[in-house]
């Protein structure tokens, strides 16, 4: 890979990691009120009307940590491929959830970056998630090639 390609990958890695790190941390801790953000995120998940209250709560506890760990693991060579796979999976899941909410006509906040996000503008959200998905797909392909060459 050339220097330009390497720089593009480095920028993409930083950007994707930053997005997931911020998203994860904001779902774990509500900085505005200095309290856990898990209850708010649980409600946000429930507004999608896809999971039971108990499953919503479990997901609200686990998903933000997965975002944080996967974002950090993107910089650890032995884990980067797995991290990219996890981020890819999460992005597809987010797109499916948002698309499903749009299709069912739900007027809910995305909750992608904590509870204070504005009401969902589905077109914008889907475009944003598609861009993120494309960036992660490039990273995944890069890690795949690198792992195969190793």
Does 144 engage in binding with another protein (CB under 8 A)?
yes
Task: Tell me which residue of 61, 92, 89, 87 sits closest to 74, measured CA to CA.
Answer: 87
Q: Does 30 bind another protein (CB under 8 A)?
A: no
Residues 96-135 that bind another protein (CB under 8 A): 106
Q: Tell me how many degrees the CA angle 107-109-112 measures, rounded to the nearest 5.
A: 145
Least separation in angstroms between CB 108 and another protein: 8
Query: Alpha helix locations (H) across the chain?
Result: 3-28, 38-47, 53-73, 80-103, 122-149
In the region spanning residues 44 to 83, those forming contacts with another protein, defined by CB under 8 A, are: 46-47, 49, 52-54, 57-58, 61-62, 65-66, 68-70, 73, 78-83
User: Do 133 and 95 meet the contact criterion of CB atoms below 8 Å apart?
Assistant: yes
Under 8 Å between Cβ of 37 and 74: no
Out of 12, 15, 36, 117, the residue judged to bind another protein by CB under 8 A = 36
- Size, binding site for another protein by CB under 8 A: 36
Q: What are the distances in angstroms from CA 70 to CA 5, 26, 89?
A: 23, 15, 11
Binding site for another protein (CB under 8 A): 28, 36, 38-40, 42-43, 46-47, 49, 52-54, 57-58, 61-62, 65-66, 68-70, 73, 78-83, 85-86, 89, 106, 144, 147-148
């Amino acid at each position: 890979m050339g220097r330009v390609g390497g720089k593009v990958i480095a920028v993409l890695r930083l950007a994707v990691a930053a997005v997931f790190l911020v998203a994860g941390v904001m779902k774990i801790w509500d900085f505005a009120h200095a309290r856990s953000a898990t209850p708010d995120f649980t409600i946000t998940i429930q507004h999608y009307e896809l999971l039971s209250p108990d499953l919503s709560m479990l997901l609200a506890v686990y998903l933000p940590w997965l975002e944080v760990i996967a974002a950090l693991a993107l910089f650890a060579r032995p884990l980067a491929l797995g991290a990219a796979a996890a981020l890819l999976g999460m992005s597809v899941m987010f797109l499916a959830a948002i698309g499903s909410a749009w299709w069912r006509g739900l007027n809910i906040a995305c909750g992608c970056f904590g509870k204070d996000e504005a009401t969902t503008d589905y077109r914008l959200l889907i475009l944003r998630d598609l861009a993120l998905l494309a960036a992660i797909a490039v990273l995944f392909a890069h890690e795949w090639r690198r792992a195969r060459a190793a």
